[in-house]
Structure 1
């Protein structure tokens, strides 16, 4: 069995989607499944410095990079070379695993796969939430009518990582079978000096608790609301330091910095910029808590990584991992407003014992539910069932949820504040 993962870009700056596909293909290879990636050399406003039109090892996995042409809609990542390559090579693979929606590479891959009778799965990656569909609404409505609904409904399966994502897919009218499998999060070696090293690196007092925001800096992630909530914490004379890890559009980053100046919080907040590998692990292991007040967030690999690192997490209901956080008691889920954020963060700051309990729960949950090898094994089983046309029922291919029920959750009941 040979699997091809199709994704528009694996630029490091894209964060979660890039981490997901690289980790998943690594896990599949470790599980004995032959898997490769085809993508473009897109890297934001730059190009990835990689060889084109040849399979190379990139961060430990086999990847084909092809050139792209950037039209006015930058996120579309148009690539005529992708069309030609897929047309010539798609029959070399038994199944395609397409990542993302409303983008050229997965769209053309699905169409060519149908022409050549190669089955494919699709990961919607949060693109069918009500919030996401309101962004560039008219363009997405036209694109859905012409392309995306057909691609989705002819897929062998739609891979959803949360129950909420599966609900979004069905609400969108997709009839294809749904796979419900979380994403894998690798356990990293514990660094017993992480706390001391992180405080030292950013010149933070050893007694000051560190709050971590790790995500792309975009308005839907609501770092501005977090800053305003921390202003109330500051007024309440609670000690803290916020590390904002990630990059974003210069205008939005400047807005955040101006907001900090206006609230007199600049000495309490540090922008780390983009982080990865050891630097990211240091942040996750050295911080005291992880906060993501996002309006719309699919699986949120950063939240899962924080849980795996043994850190309590605080999120809003827009983060679709919220039901699992409640089920496993790994953190707090609060309403999407400043006062609720203030109260939740204040409670965590006030209770090291609570932080430790929630963090330990998160580490246990992640090691069981987000084990990359187990998820790769389950996915391999699904691939084989699709290729061999042996059939499967959705209940058989959903990741077991033996650590607590997370289905049909009541959002109002799960909110802490």
Structure 2
């Protein structure tokens, strides 16, 4: 199959969070399985910088990446929107080559500009992955409601299938699609991780380098990794960590907060002390180093699609402390971590339980890696996507694509 992914950002634009890593992971896995994979994206590297790479390139993992220049990055900073006004020109040729188009996130200018092109000629099917962004309950609610009222309908009505991360996301999609007068097939496919990247022979060295860089010594580390956004619960985690140390006085424990500031930096600044390390954004190598260095991972989010950071922590063999909003109840079921409410006292109790018990951490870490190996690798995700894709592509289009040069 020739698969065209449409996304506002792609590797190495990891500053935009889990969506970038998710699209990158599935694109690479599909290419490994023999498919022709093209990614149509923008030149945004983060909210202030552009990618320095060429406009079109084939990456080392076999994915062709086509980047369209944003007219400005100001809208990305102000409203988290791209301005790839020339994307239609690139899309016309790429759509003609593709068996299907897989768009990522709903409320994007990329979708508004590109999906109308699917109305002409031999139309390839359109698949949409919202990546946990549909709900209006976890931020930007008014913006999303206005966008949906005036703009989302045209994209939804062109969509053949929606791929949600969880049953909750599919319920959100079904509700919104009813409001928009749209009908699409609904499927659940989770995120995945690259176990080889998380368990490779250089992990120990990366972990040691991370500890040295931040002067962590042999301390027991609880790691938070994610954007410093209100819905991630980092403020509650800091309070819980301080409460745990005040009540139980656990010597040699540190909280490492890793991620770019998206509005919470000033709010948490008064809560920091010498046991809490704030790293800011970590690039790919440093992120892997943080996971290798950590002993426990905590993410008290109030709303996630399916947290890639949590899946990566599990893949790295870390016991995790999550909340119901992370949508990973199986973590508790298989003994890979604890699920608690995003409140100070239950979080503090969970932190104490794991930070004070190395043997329990080891057992949970082994269960964590087994869970990922069984259910959450990118190759497993790609196999599920193949089945969905094949069911949407007409035999005529598949044969035409196969004959194309």
Per-residue CA deviation, residues 377-414 of structure 1 (Å, 9 max, x unaligned), is 22122212211379xxxxxxxxxxxxxxxxxxxxxxxx
Moved over 6 A (4+): none
Distance verdict in 2 for CA 1:280–1:27, change over 3 Å: same
Per-residue deviation, 1:307: 0.4
Contact 2:36 2:63 survives alignment (8 Å): no
Contact 1:8 1:106 survives alignment (8 Å): no
Residue 384 of structure 1, aligned match among 390, 396, 400: 390
Residue 248 of structure 1, aligned match among 261, 270, 274: 261
1:85 match: 90
TM-score (norm 1): 0.85
1:356 match: 362
Per-residue deviation, 1:88: 4.2
Distance 1:336 1:107 in 2: 36
Per-residue deviation, 1:28: 0.4
Aligned residue pairs total 379
Q: How does 1:323-334 map to 2 (within 5 A)?
A: 323-334=329-340
2:23 match: 21
1:33 match: 35
Distance 1:164 1:389 in 2: 33
- Root-mean-square deviation (CA), in Å? 2.2
Tell me whether 347-356 or 97-106 shows the greater mean CA deviation: 347-356
1:61 match: 63
Contact 2:320 2:338 survives alignment (8 Å): yes
Per-residue deviation, 1:285: 2.0
Distance 2:156 2:353 in 1: 43
Contact 1:243 1:271 survives alignment (8 Å): yes
Contact 1:334 1:341 survives alignment (8 Å): yes
1:178 aligned onto 2:183: no
Contact 1:311 1:355 survives alignment (8 Å): yes
1:297 aligned onto 2:304: yes
1:103 aligned onto 2:108: yes
Contact 2:136 2:144 survives alignment (8 Å): no
Distance 2:60 2:111 in 1: 20
SS at match of 1:28: helix
1:8 aligned onto 2:8: yes
Distance verdict in 2 for CA 1:319–1:114, change over 3 Å: farther
Distance 1:169 1:389 in 2: 28
Contact 2:354 2:361 survives alignment (8 Å): yes
Distance 1:363 1:389 in 2: 40
Structure 2: state its 5+ residue gaps. 397-405
Residue 373 of structure 2, aligned match among 349, 367, 371: 367
TM-score (norm 2): 0.87
Tell me whether 163-172 or 3-12 shows the greater mean CA deviation: 163-172
